[in-house]
Chain A
């Protein structure tokens, strides 16, 4: 039998597949072949030793899940990329045109001292068309006024209080700036971190921003398959707010409730996509209300009342209280999210795991991904690979940056109670 002829024939057929005309739609703006109904893809890597590595690994990982997205959005968040300006706020801003840029820069100049500004270096990629003007600023807030009530003199103000005041100022600036319909959007506003996103497949966006040139200790990424909102540059993931970045696969059915809840605290939702509300929820709960990260999953993906009912009395009462106080912060609907911040990466599923999430560990590296194959692409032989439960977070801290509540804790119940007491004290502070 002559197999060679058969293989030759098969290879000819493959070539015919490849010479087939490329599908383009009439606008040529959002070129994609045909669409496989699918979901978004999320991928994240953290090196808990804080060692930096370039963007190649995260691009390879997210590219593995190419077919989960459809070319209408992709993006990356990177932590540790601007060590030379690590104490300044790094703003990445999208401008529709140069007029919008001029107007916006007046505001920026008024509020901030600009230490350095440039356009983010990009390169031409065939599939990425009509990008906005993408500018970058390293900023220090001017004229922070701190109410001296309760302080004897200015000497009583320590760095932490000043930092918090600055954060509050930047938060309200970014919120108001993005709510203004001027054709300019701050997409990233943290320190020593940056968000790179746009309309295209994530691996193409990675090439577009030349992510090989950046080194970070946390990378998160997203391939988008927009369902309820349009695919536009600002609407791609990750969503950033201060140091937070959120990538999300799924949809937030409780968006209306969550949006009204955070708007009561001054957050304005202006990207017409549900995911941004998650960034504000994290900022509100962790930064403003000081809730331990170990408790966030009991608010966002709160356990069912039936599940709470079988717990020991003290924990039961506490979880009930948490659900009642933060009922409107409960994120309903199917989701898997990966949240980045300077000190940690946090991944979470909805409580009944309606979206996929896989995690793996190899030495100091921890991976989270929508599909196992993406992890195996960049890490062929992980030490452990597992499927987190719905509502069970995967949180990895940079060594030495763990929240204080964890220290000296042996048993999980004790840890929980300590978290509770720290929360109670922060509430007590708020109530007084």
Chain B
């Protein structure tokens, strides 16, 4: 995201994503409100970053240091929001942010009041993403740390190539259902799928492979670390070749309960009795090195 480089190469030919529209910025005592209506993603991210820079350097300047929240209103399709940010700050987004939201993010807490698109939390390092809606494909792609909570459904390849090391431990909690290839090549961390809501498709396509199960096919294909907890039963044909299905133990129950409580808290859900811990199925890899012997003759 080299902003200075980009400055020289601005295309002014197009008419709809007009660079000349400035975001309207309002400062309150503790937060800063940015109206992103019709603002191009480069301009919007430039604004967020320069405000964060001032906050980071606030000891040395007269910039108000009390600001700990940025509120983005009327966001629609702007890419790369919150990418690579290391400042401890909370960002709340109203609208539908674009692809690669919070990629490489390291620290902030982002709350989205709406759906998110593809690539949310791509290679995220730490921080928190709370989505009051559904997520698109490849949620938490190569995630290295932090937590993602999605109230409703997630698309294909959620948690693909998640990994963990020492204190870095990524977690994805999904309230609804997940698409195919959940936790593909997963190497660490935890994914919890609750299956509380359905995706509504009002158009009948008579598709033969529709089913009511909580996860899609090819769950955990190539998985060699971490755990996936799914509420409800999973047919065996849906599982990748590298994983094994088992019942949860006491240790798992503590983990699930912890993140479940967070889920209830973030989305303000009060009727907690629907979910019983013993309904969860654990999916974990057979081996930490499933292909270790593949090339050893």
Partner-B contacts on A (CB < 8 A): 1-3, 6-7, 10-11, 13-14, 16-18, 20-23, 31-34, 59-60, 63-67, 71, 126-127, 201, 203-204, 207, 294, 297-298, 303, 306-307, 310-311, 315, 319, 352-353, 356, 358-359, 361, 366, 371-374, 376-377, 383-396, 409, 412, 415-416
How far, in Å, is A397 (CB) from chain B's closest CB?
10
Top 7 A-B pairs, shortest CB-CB distance: A33-B11, A373-B77, A63-B16, A127-B13, A3-B27, A34-B9, A412-B206
Tell me if B41 and A307 are in contact (CB < 8 A): no
Tell me if A66 and B16 are in contact (CB < 8 A): yes
List of B residues within 8 angstroms of A384 by Cβ: 200-202
- Report the contact-size class of chain B (Cβ under 8 Å from the partner): 35 or more
Tell me if B41 and A67 are in contact (CB < 8 A): yes
List of B residues within 8 angstroms of A33 by Cβ: 9-11
9 extra interchain contacts, Cβ-Cβ under 8 A, other than A371-B99, A376-B77, A387-B134? A3-B64, A14-B22, A20-B7, A66-B16, A203-B16, A204-B14, A376-B95, A387-B156, A389-B179
> Within the assembled complex, what's the spacing in Å between the Cα atoms of A409 and B202?
16
> What is the 8 Å Cβ interface bit string for chain B, positions 157-184, against chain A (1 contact, 0 not)?
0000000000000000000000111000
Partner-A contacts on B (CB < 8 A): 6-17, 19-20, 22, 25, 27, 41-43, 46-47, 50-51, 54, 62-64, 76-77, 79, 95-99, 115, 117-118, 134, 136-137, 153, 155-156, 179-181, 199-210, 216-217, 237
State which of B7, B47, B153, B180 has its C-beta within 8 Å of the C-beta of A352.
B180
Tell me if A23 and B10 are in contact (CB < 8 A): yes
> Within the assembled complex, what's the spacing in Å between the Cα atoms of A52 and B15?
25
State which of A1, A126, A395 has its C-beta within 8 Å of the C-beta of B64.
A1
How far, in Å, is A32 (CB) from chain B's closest CB?
6
> Within the assembled complex, what's the spacing in Å between the Cα atoms of A297 and B205?
10
List of A residues within 8 angstroms of B15 by Cβ: 63, 203-204, 207
Tell me if A310 and B237 are in contact (CB < 8 A): yes
Please list 20 pairs of residues, one from A and one from B, whose beta carbons are closer than 8 Å in the complex, sorted by A's number: A2-B62, A10-B50, A13-B50, A17-B46, A18-B10, A18-B19, A21-B8, A22-B12, A23-B11, A33-B10, A66-B16, A303-B208, A353-B179, A356-B136, A371-B99, A372-B136, A373-B77, A376-B76, A387-B134, A393-B205
Tell me if A371 and B47 are in contact (CB < 8 A): no
Tell me if B77 and A65 are in contact (CB < 8 A): yes
Tell me if A395 and B180 are in contact (CB < 8 A): no
Closest partner residue, chain A, to B43 (CB atom): A14
List of A residues within 8 angstroms of B199 by Cβ: 386-387
> Within the assembled complex, what's the spacing in Å between the Cα atoms of A34 and B12?
11
Tell me if B50 and A66 are in contact (CB < 8 A): no
> Within the assembled complex, what's the spacing in Å between the Cα atoms of A416 and B205?
11
Tell me if B203 and A396 are in contact (CB < 8 A): yes
> Within the assembled complex, what's the spacing in Å between the Cα atoms of A371 and B27?
32
> Within the assembled complex, what's the spacing in Å between the Cα atoms of A85 and B46?
52
List of B residues within 8 angstroms of A416 by Cβ: 206, 208
State which of A3, A32, A353 has its C-beta within 8 Å of the C-beta of B180.
A353
Tell me if A387 and B136 are in contact (CB < 8 A): yes
Identify the interface centre among A23, A66, A394: most chain B CB within 10 Å of its CB. A66
State which of B64, B117, B207 has its C-beta within 8 Å of the C-beta of A389.
B207
> Within the assembled complex, what's the spacing in Å between the Cα atoms of A66 and B12?
12
Tell me if A201 and B237 are in contact (CB < 8 A): no
List of B residues within 8 angstroms of A315 by Cβ: 208
> Within the assembled complex, what's the spacing in Å between the Cα atoms of A331 and B33?
48
> Within the assembled complex, what's the spacing in Å between the Cα atoms of A7 and B24?
9
- Number of A-B residue pairs with CB-CB distance less than 8 Å in the complex they form: 188
A31-B13 CB under 8 A given contacts A18-B20, A372-B136, A377-B77:
yes
Identify the interface centre among B10, B19, B181: most chain A CB within 10 Å of its CB. B10
Tell me if A10 and B25 are in contact (CB < 8 A): yes
Tell me if A63 and B17 are in contact (CB < 8 A): yes
A11-B22 CB under 8 A given contacts A1-B64, A311-B208, A383-B202:
yes
Tell me if A373 and B117 are in contact (CB < 8 A): yes
How far, in Å, is B284 (CB) from chain A's closest CB?
22
State which of A22, A203, A386, A409 has its C-beta within 8 Å of the C-beta of B201.
A386
> Within the assembled complex, what's the spacing in Å between the Cα atoms of A384 and B203?
10
Tell me if A16 and B7 are in contact (CB < 8 A): yes
> Within the assembled complex, what's the spacing in Å between the Cα atoms of A384 and B200?
7
> Within the assembled complex, what's the spacing in Å between the Cα atoms of A373 and B77?
5
Closest partner residue, chain A, to B42 (CB atom): A17
State which of B9, B47, B99 has its C-beta within 8 Å of the C-beta of A10.
B47
List of A residues within 8 angstroms of B51 by Cβ: 10
Tell me if B237 and A371 are in contact (CB < 8 A): no
How far, in Å, is B35 (CB) from chain A's closest CB?
13
Tell me if B206 and A415 are in contact (CB < 8 A): yes
List of B residues within 8 angstroms of A412 by Cβ: 204, 206-208, 210
> Within the assembled complex, what's the spacing in Å between the Cα atoms of A294 and B51?
53
> Within the assembled complex, what's the spacing in Å between the Cα atoms of A1 and B67?
12
Closest partner residue, chain B, to A360 (CB atom): B202
How far, in Å, is A12 (CB) from chain B's closest CB?
11
How far, in Å, is A8 (CB) from chain B's closest CB?
11
Tell me if B79 and A67 are in contact (CB < 8 A): yes
List of A residues within 8 angstroms of B25 by Cβ: 7, 10
> Within the assembled complex, what's the spacing in Å between the Cα atoms of A64 and B14?
11
Tell me if B207 and A23 are in contact (CB < 8 A): no
> Within the assembled complex, what's the spacing in Å between the Cα atoms of A393 and B201?
11
A353-B137 CB under 8 A given contacts A204-B13, A372-B115, A384-B201:
yes
> Within the assembled complex, what's the spacing in Å between the Cα atoms of A65 and B77?
8
Tell me if B54 and A6 are in contact (CB < 8 A): yes
Closest partner residue, chain B, to A304 (CB atom): B217
State which of A13, A64, A376 has its C-beta within 8 Å of the C-beta of B46.
A13
Closest partner residue, chain A, to B5 (CB atom): A34
How far, in Å, is B98 (CB) from chain A's closest CB?
6
Tell me if A372 and B96 are in contact (CB < 8 A): yes
List of B residues within 8 angstroms of A409 by Cβ: 206
Closest partner residue, chain B, to A4 (CB atom): B27
> Within the assembled complex, what's the spacing in Å between the Cα atoms of A59 and B17?
12
Tell me if B16 and A60 are in contact (CB < 8 A): yes
> Within the assembled complex, what's the spacing in Å between the Cα atoms of A306 and B63?
62
> Within the assembled complex, what's the spacing in Å between the Cα atoms of A22 and B46?
19
> Within the assembled complex, what's the spacing in Å between the Cα atoms of A372 and B12?
25
A203-B14 CB under 8 A given contacts A13-B50, A23-B9, A373-B76:
yes
List of B residues within 8 angstroms of A311 by Cβ: 208
How far, in Å, is B8 (CB) from chain A's closest CB?
5
List of A residues within 8 angstroms of B9 by Cβ: 20, 23, 33-34
